[in-house]
Every structure is written in C-alpha cells, then in structure tokens.
A and B are shown apart, each in its own frame.
Chain A
Amino acid sequence: MPLLEFKNVSKSFGAIEALKDVSFDIEEGEMVFVTGPSGAGKTTLLKLLIRQLKPSSGEVIFDGKDVSKIKKKDVPALRRKVGTVFQDFKLLDEKTIRENCNIALAIAKVASKEWDARVEHVLELVGLSERADFFPSQLSGGEIQRAALARALVMNPKIIFADEPTGNLDWDTAEEVMKLLQKINKEGKTVIVTTHHKKIIHELGGRQLELKKGSLEKGEK
C-alpha cells in the first residue's frame, strides 16, 4: 500500500483551478521531486496533505486515511506525521534552533529526557551542531533551511515534505541542501521535494512529478 496517494484531486479557488484531477502515489522510502513553474500547484499539494486545505474533489490518502475526512481534532496528529519544511521556514524567531527543535518535540509529546539526544542527532545530521544556540536571524539562508529541516526531522515523521527548499539559495547552497535531503532519504525516510531547480534534479536523479497549470504532466505511476 502506498504511503501517500492522490486520487483524482482537484482544488479550485473560485474560478481558478489550482489542481486539476491530479493522481499519483508515493511508496514508503521513495524520494520524489515535484517540479513546475510558480503557480503550478506545488504548494497546494502540501496544503492538501497537511489539511490546511480540503480538496474540491478527489481523495488524499496518507498512511491509509483519507486526509479530507479526518476529524478536526485529529488534524494535529496528522501534521505531526508530516515533517514539513515550509517555503518561508516558519521557525520561531524568538527561539534558538535548539528551542525550535525542543518545541517540535514537545508538540510530538516526546519525553523531555530524550530531547537533548534527539536534537543533537538531527543538528549533527544537518550540520548545525555548532549553531544550536543561535537564533534564526543569526543564521545564513542555507543554515535556516537546514534548521527548518532539523525541526521537521526531530519529530521523526513518516514523510518529509520540503516546499521549495532551494528557492532563495545560491547554487552551491541549494545543491548542499538537496544532497542533505537525499542523505535523509537514504536513511529510509520518504521525502517529497518541490522545486523548480531542474538541473539539481538531473544531477541527483530520482522520480519526478511535473505539474503545469495544476495538471500532472509526468510522473504518474
């Protein structure tokens, strides 16, 4: 059974169709790139997955459950299963990177005695051990991106969804972040990355879903 399945999903905002009859599935352990120009519907995919939006029609099935049908009180539990790296990071500016990770662990209801070890592990994985007590404003763009990834990873989610993680980065930093995501995938985590950096995808390889004006052009299984 696939970990994530989009079945004939459409989403409209008034007259604008952000997604048109999109169908695909993603198996556990896969690394998938969702590409397409701005406005193609990449972020809408994420919003549908974490129930920030509900589809106009179709089904989004994650971990065996139709996301649009789960009760409102169960939405936080769904979001804890999806480690999201937002385009605008959504790190808490007044907290250090370590505190951001600790809050994520508190949200995931992890016992506080485990926090230090888990935070150290993910920060080492993303290469930010020495920046643990820095605030987001004290980090570079690439470091913020990695901090956001660390916060997503520390919750040990079933899937990592990184929305345009390379959007505001220079080429070298973007490649570095992508390689990090690939490393995380190789450790067994399912990873979805939206990007318009086709060159990086070509270099890294992997399955690609291409969205154009809300329709899936290629990548459907």
Chain B
Amino acid sequence: MSLHLKTSIANIRRAPFQAMAAISVLAITFFVSTLIALAVYSSNQIISYFETRPQIIAFLKDDTTQEQVDDLMGRLTGDPRIANLKFVSKEEALNIYKEATSDNPLLGELVSPSIFPASIEFSPSDLSHAQDLISLVEGELVVEDIGFTANVGGSSAVGDVINRLKTISYYVRLTGAVSVGVLAVTSGLVLMVVISMRISMKKEEIESLSLIGASPGFIRAPLLLEAIEYGVLGAFLGWLLAAVLAMYVSPHLFSYFGTLPILPKEPSQFFGLLGIILLGEVLISVTIATLGSLFSLSRTLKLK
C-alpha cells in the first residue's frame, strides 16, 4: 500500500467521529441523488412510453382507391415526423377485431369486412408534432375520420397528457437538481471543514515535512486522498441504501403501474441501471471531494 494511502487511512482511524460526520453527510447526499436519478429515469421512461404509444389512425373513405392509398402512403412515408406508418386493410381490420373479441367468437362471426373502414396508422416521431400531423391528414380528401388509441383519448388529450407528464418530469428534475445541488455544496463544505481541522491537527507534522524537503504535492496527497476516501465511501453507502430501498419497493411499483416501464423489470437491466448510477455518483463524489479538499488546502495550508 502506498505511503499516502496508509497515512490517509491512519488519519481516518485517528479521528473517527470527523470521518463519520463526513461520510454520513455524503451518504445522505448520494442516497437522495440515487433516488432522484431513479425518479428521473422513470419519468423519462413514462414520457417515452406515452410519446411512442399514441397511434393516430386515419380512417379512409369506403370509395378510396388503392392508387389514392399508395399516393397518401408515399407522401406520409417521406415525412420525418412520422414513424411506424402502416396501412390496415378492411380484412386486416376484421382480423384485429376478431382477435380482440376472441373470447366471444360469435361477435366475430356477426360482422363482415365491409363494415370496417381501411385505415392508415402511424405514430408521431415526437409528440410535439402530433397536432400538426392530425391537421395534415384531416385535410386529405380520402380521410373520413381521425382516431387515436384508447389510452390517449381525443386529439386534444394527446398533447395534454404528454404536456402534463413533461411538466411533472421537469419539476422532478428541477427539484432533484436543487436538492442534489444543495446537498453537494453541503457535502463539499463539510469536507472542507474536516480537512481544515485535519490541517490544524497536523500543523507541526506538515511543517516538519516541509522543512525536510517535502513538496506541496507530497504534503497535500494524503489529505486529498482522505477526502476522496470519504467521498467514495459516502457515495457507496448512500447508493447501497437507495438500491436496497429500490429493490424492496420495485415489486410494489411494478404491480401498481402495470405495463408502464417505470423501472427495468429484467434483473440484469435493473442492476445495470443501478451500476451506471453508482459509477456516476462515484465520479461526482471524487469531484466534490477533490474540489472541497483542494479549496480547503489552498485556504489553510500555507507552506513556508
């Protein structure tokens, strides 16, 4: 083990209460950060789910020729705002109906393809385009009516639902950023105080090292390492607590939200997400620790 690492660990062991204070504050910061990261992930997933879900269905008039269908399909295919474009013939519409009523086959037997209109179905690539696309296809002569998938509701509801989700997501992020920011600054300040106390405690030792030729980097290294150790330990503990909590509540969330992909259901993806959050938090904790301790060192460690 390197000399600086040994010294930094010895420093922690020598003043365990300072170490516990620093690690606790950092653990709280990263506990909250992990939960917020999961909430941001969930809100993104929900928005994405709704954004890609709503299919716009343009029901075609009965007398629409195949030529007119091809012409409209051709024009819509070239529109970058449109995704998942699909023509559904009368026969295909009947099949969909039969599948939907498979538990009562009599309902399927009573209808013929002629009562189902052919349609063109598509999703907007981004929901902000939905209203424009609706207006576009509504203006087509061959279009009888416009419909939407059941979970979205009417045309005005499409934007409303998504806008509401985006607003919620925005506030989740804003609240998260402010909370994490405040906690990160607090953590940085606590680290600065702890490192400043350490410098005061080791004033004589620092002077001795300086007088026998230690470079400022040599003197600072164990103090910087000590702050990084607090940061990494705090980040790991905070993450671990939040990860255990997420593992505990996720089955309840899955059953409550049903098909909404609020968190990954596959264990590998779930732990992958937590792993990415941990990695990010360790990097952030190292940054906070480095900045906090360097600021403290530059303020309190004046080497003669």
Chain A residues close to B by CB (< 8 Å) = 50, 52, 76-81, 84, 86, 90-94, 102-104, 106-108, 151-152, 155
Contacts and interface: CB of A to CB of B under 8 A. Distances in A.
Interface residues of B, number: 17
B218 interface: yes
Contact of A80 (B10, B205, B213, B216): B213
Q: Is the interface of B mostly helix, strand, loop or mixed?
A: helix
A91 B3 contact: no
A90 B3 contact: no
Contacts of B205: 92-94
Given A52-B304, A102-B3, A103-B3, A86 B213 contact: no
A106 B213 contact: no
Contact of B218 (A50, A102, A106): A106
Nearest to A151: B212
Contacts of B283: none
A152 B210 CA distance: 13
B207 interface: yes
Contacts of B207: 90
A59 B215 CA distance: 24
A66 B23 CA distance: 48
A51 to B, nearest CB: 9
Interface of B: 3, 10, 14, 204-205, 207-216, 218, 304
Nearest to B215: A76
B213 A103 contact: no
30 contacts: A52-B211, A76-B210, A76-B213, A76-B216, A78-B213, A79-B212, A81-B213, A84-B211, A84-B212, A86-B211, A90-B204, A90-B207, A90-B211, A90-B212, A91-B208, A92-B205, A92-B208, A92-B209, A94-B10, A94-B14, A94-B205, A102-B3, A103-B3, A104-B212, A106-B218, A107-B212, A107-B214, A107-B215, A107-B218, A155-B213
B69 to A, nearest CB: 79
A52 B304 CA distance: 6
Contacts of A108: 213
Residue picked from B209, B211, B214, most chain A C-beta under 10 Å? B211
Nearest to B208: A90
Contact of B209 (A50, A102, A107, A155): A107
Can you list the 9 inter-chain pairs with the closest CB atoms, starting with the nearest?
A80-B213, A79-B213, A90-B208, A76-B215, A107-B214, A76-B213, A106-B3, A107-B213, A92-B205
Contacts of B208: 90-92
Contacts of A77: 213
Contacts of B209: 92, 103, 107
A159 to B, nearest CB: 13
A35 B1 CA distance: 45
Contacts of B3: 102-103, 106
A80 B210 CA distance: 10
Contacts of A76: 210, 213-216, 218
Contacts of A80: 212-213
Contacts of B216: 76
Given A76-B213, A76-B214, 16 more contacts: A76-B216, A76-B218, A79-B210, A79-B212, A79-B213, A80-B213, A81-B213, A86-B211, A90-B204, A90-B211, A90-B212, A92-B208, A103-B3, A106-B3, A107-B213, A151-B212
Contacts of A78: 213
A104 B209 CA distance: 8
B123 to A, nearest CB: 63
Contacts of B14: 94
A206 to B, nearest CB: 25
Nearest to B10: A94
Nearest to A50: B211
Nearest to A152: B212
A116 to B, nearest CB: 14
A102 B4 CA distance: 12
B103 to A, nearest CB: 77
A86 B214 CA distance: 16
B10, B213, B218, most chain A CB atoms within 10 A:
B213
A70 to B, nearest CB: 13
Contacts of A79: 210-213
